[in-house]
Amino acid sequence: MDSGFRRNDSLMEKGTQPLRKGLRSLSVVIALCLAPAAIAGDAAGKAARSWAGADAYVRVENEELRRVIVSGPMAAPYMATILDRLSRDPPRGVVLLFHGCFYRPGEPDMGAQARFLAGLGYAVLLPNSFKREGRMATCDPRTRVALKDADLEAAHGLRLEEIAFAVDRVRALPWARGRRLILAGYGEGADAVLAFAHKAVSARVAIDARCRHGLDLDPPAPTFILTSSRVPTVAEPNRCREAAAGDPFVELHEPEGSLSNALLYRDAQTALSRFLARIDL
């Protein structure tokens, strides 16, 4: 399963081999990506670890003129080469994707979401909250049910720090300047995305959100909330229905089904694609 969401090795060999001599100079680019952001000192230093552990998903054209998705650690030399190329061939936009209550690189749900968004032409960057020292999962990895002793409020605070740091870092990337910035999240990450607002954000996408921490629309940004009509592992009511009611900036899509990763449904993919197309207008 993991191999389906990692790099395309044959493409890496064909596409990056001619540029290996330039990797040394790209170390400067990597250093800029990993430098601390201008948020509160200690918090920035800790949030920086989630950014340093980020994966990237990018759609590229190989030598056979076929479009493929290449993924892997953002700080890896081959990925730095691919991201540097985006200065000459800009992506449709940048998606900062924030995982849920549990994550490890190659995790199927996040891989599927990242690959879908990258397939639409976005450069997708996925920070890893669990690179932070002492960071513990807040749910059972298998059932996604919250752990009884989990400090959900503290975890939410960490996620907001990570989003603020990542937004600051993306705005400093030369290839991302002038590109639309979209925040997307899943589960715990989705609720954090909905509670975060920034003038640089063009839109937000929240998958399996519950709106546990409210919906911040100051400044307003088009927001797409995607949640299956019934999720058996979640007993609490979905507060997003009330939060989205009558708000012109919020679109709530509830496909019939029980999958927490509702983006697996074809009609959900169509709805999200149309939402993002409207953002481009």
| pLDDT one-digit tens code per residue, 99-150 | 999 998 888 999 999 999 999 999 999 999 999 998 988 998 887 888 888 8
- Mean pLDDT score of the chain: 84
- Give dist(CA 177, CA 117) in Å, integer: 19
Percent of the chain with pLDDT over 70: 83
What is the model's pTM? 0.83
pLDDT class for 33, splitting at 50, 70, 90?
very low
| Predicted confidence band of residue 164 (pLDDT cuts 50, 70, 90) | very high
Dump pLDDT digits (tens) for 137-157: 899 888 788 888 889 999 999
If you average pLDDT over residues 3-12, what whole number do you get? 36
The amino acid at residue 183 is L
Question: Strand pairing partners for 124?
Answer: 57, 95
CATH code for position 247: 3.40.50.1820
Look at residue 231 in the predicted model and tell me its pLDDT. Answer: 76
Q: Which residues of 186-224 are buried (b: 16+ CB within 10 A; e: fewer)?
A: bbbbbbbbbbbbbeebbbbbbbbbbbbbebbbeeebbbb
Report residue 72's pLDDT band, with 50, 70 and 90 as the boundaries.
Answer: very high
Containing structural domain, residue 81: 2-280
How crowded is the C-beta side of 199, counted as CA atoms within 13 Å?
0
CA 266 vs CA 106, 182, 225: distances in Å: 22, 21, 16
How many folded domains does the chain comprise?
Answer: 1
